[in-house]
Amino acid sequence: MPDGPAFSPVRVFVPAGQLGAGVRADEVVTAIERGFDVIALDAGSTDSGAAYLAAGVSKNSRDAVKADLRLLMTAQARSRAPLLVGTAGQAGADPNVDWTLEIVAEVAREEGLTPRVAALYSELAAETLKAKNAAGKVRSLPPLGALDDATIDSCAHIVALMGVEPYIAALEAGADILIGGRSTDTAVLASYPIWRGAHAGAAWHAGKTGECGAQCTANVNLGSGVILAIDRSGFEVEPLHPATRCTVQSVSAHMLYENSNPFRLTEPGGVLDVTAARYEQVSEVRVRVEGSVWEPRPYTMKLEGASAGRYQTVMIVGIADPQVLANLDLFHDRMHHVLTRRIERTMGARAGAFDVSLRIYGWNAVTGGPVPKEAAPPREVGVMCVITAESQNLADQMAKACNPYFFHMPLSDGVELPSYGFPFSPAEIPRGQVFEFRLNHVVELDDPLELVRTRWIDLATATEGADA
C-alpha cells in the first residue's frame, strides 16, 4: 500500500443495483459533475434462480441492458474513468459474458466509441473441477456435503466467483471497460479502490454497502445510484438523487441484506468484519464509516453450478364454487388422486417418473402447510397444476390427458359435472425445464488468477477495420 499524506479518496460511481435495472441519465450527469474515478456495478445474482446459469441466458431484457450500457459507455468515454461490470448477463457463465460483449460492441459501433475491453471469464470445465476435487482442494459449505463427480457432471454450467484480483490485473493492463463473469458483487466495487491503495476493510465494506445502488439510502424508491468515496481509513457514501439521503440507519442496515451473517462476509482471499464499524452522519445526505476490518485468509473461490432437469407443464383454473371452497383440502386430495390415476391409466409405463403437484392459491399454495380447521373459506381460489415429466412432450401429453378432469372433477360422485374457470385455451402451458443449483462449495487456490481467463477486445481496431 503506497504511503503519503496526499491520498485523495477514490470515488466509485455505482449507477444502479444491477445493469439493466434502469440507469438514470440525470444521475449520470450529476455523477460527472461531482466527479468519480471509476464506474462499477454488477449485472446479476443467484437470487432469481438457477435458470440463468443452467441455460446461460440473461434475466434482463437485451434492450434494457443496452440502454444502460449506452449511458455508461458514453460516460466512460467522456470521463476516461474505467467501467467495471461484474456477473455479466445475470449468471456470469461464458455465454452470459459473450451476450453482454456483443451488446458492448454494438453500442460502441453506434456511438463511435473506441474502448479497450477486457472480458474476464470464470466458467470451469467439469474436468477442471473434478481434478481440484480429487486433489482435496474443494470444501463443502453447509447444508451440502462432500462433492462427487456425478454432481459435477449434472451441472450445465459451473462458475467460480471472482474476487478483486482479475479486475486489478486488467486495470493494470489498461482496460477501459471490464466485462466480468461471475464475481462477488462486493469485489466489483472494491477492486478499483484496492488497486489504488485505499483501506482494504473500507473498500470491501463500501462495496457491500453500494452493491444494490440506492438500496442503502433512506428512500429506496427514489433514485438508482450512489457515490462511494474510499480513503485510507474509511469510506463515505451519498446518493445521487437530490430528494433522498443516506442515514446511519440506512447504511448500517444494508449489511443485513440477503446476507446470512450481518457482521462477517466471506470473500475471495479474506473476511470482511464490520463488528467494530462506526457510522457517522457527516452531512445531511452523507454517511462516513470507519473501523471495518479486512482479515486476509487463504485464497478461496465460491462455486456455483446449475443443472437442467425434468420438464414441466402447467394448467390453471379459477374456482368460485362455494361447495368446493368449503372443502378445499378434500378437493385437493381427490383431484391429486384422480389426475395421477388418469396419467397411469392412459400412459402406463411410457409415463416414466412423473409428478403431479397441485397448488391452491388463496388457500395454502405459498406455505404448503396445513390450514387451521377453523379457517373461513376464501371467496375464490386459483388452482395451479404442475406436471413434471422426463420430456416436455411427455409433460404436455399428461396435461392434455388430465385436462377434462382438472376442468370438470366434482367434489363428490353422482352430481352434474361442474366446469371450472380456465383462463386460457389451450389450457396447458409448456413451462420448460426445472433448473436447480447443485453446488455450495469453495475451491482453494494458491493463485487467484488460476481459474480466470482474460480476453482482450480492442474496439478501436475493430471500428477502424469496419470503417476501412
Residues in contact with other proteins by CB under 8 A are 46-51, 141-144, 249, 252-253, 256-263, 304, 309-310, 312, 355, 357, 359, 365-368, 386, 388, 434-438, 440
C-beta closer to other proteins: residue 42 or 231:
42
Question: Nine-digit cell at 18?
Answer: 444491477
Cα torsion through 54, 55, 58, 60, rounded to 10 = -90
Q: Smallest gap, in angstroms, from Cβ of residue 370 to other proteins? A: 12
C-beta closer to other proteins: residue 60 or 79:
60
Q: Smallest gap, in angstroms, from Cβ of residue 51 to other proteins? A: 7
Q: Smallest gap, in angstroms, from Cβ of residue 356 to other proteins? A: 11
Q: Smallest gap, in angstroms, from Cβ of residue 119 to other proteins? A: 26
Q: Smallest gap, in angstroms, from Cβ of residue 440 to other proteins? A: 5
Q: Smallest gap, in angstroms, from Cβ of residue 342 to other proteins? A: 20
Contact 55, 89 (CB under 8 A): no
389's CB contacts (< 8 A; 6+ apart) are 310, 311, 312, 313, 351, 352, 353, 354, 355, 395, 398
Contact 340, 332 (CB under 8 A): no
Q: Smallest gap, in angstroms, from Cβ of residue 304 to other proteins? A: 8
* Cα(73)–Cα(440) distance, integer angstroms: 35
Q: Smallest gap, in angstroms, from Cβ of residue 355 to other proteins? A: 6
C-beta closer to other proteins: residue 40 or 308:
308
Judging by DSSP bridges, how do beta strands 116-121 and 226-230 pair with one another?
unpaired
What are the backbone angles phi and psi of residue 55, rounded to the nearest 5°? -95, -10
Residue 396 burial (C-beta neighbours within 10 Å; 0-12, 13-18, 19+): buried
Q: Smallest gap, in angstroms, from Cβ of residue 283 to other proteins? A: 21
126's CB contacts (< 8 A; 6+ apart) are 152, 153, 155, 158
C-beta closer to other proteins: residue 101 or 360:
360
C-beta closer to other proteins: residue 6 or 366:
366
Cell numbers 490485473: residue: 169
Closest-CA residue to 268 (of 299, 303, 304, 292): 299
C-beta closer to other proteins: residue 215 or 233:
215
Cell numbers 388463496: residue: 362
Contact 80, 36 (CB under 8 A): no
C-beta closer to other proteins: residue 233 or 440:
440
C-beta closer to other proteins: residue 14 or 387:
387
C-beta closer to other proteins: residue 4 or 142:
142
* Cα(5)–Cα(206) distance, integer angstroms: 21
Distance of alpha carbon 462 from its chain centroid, rounded?
31
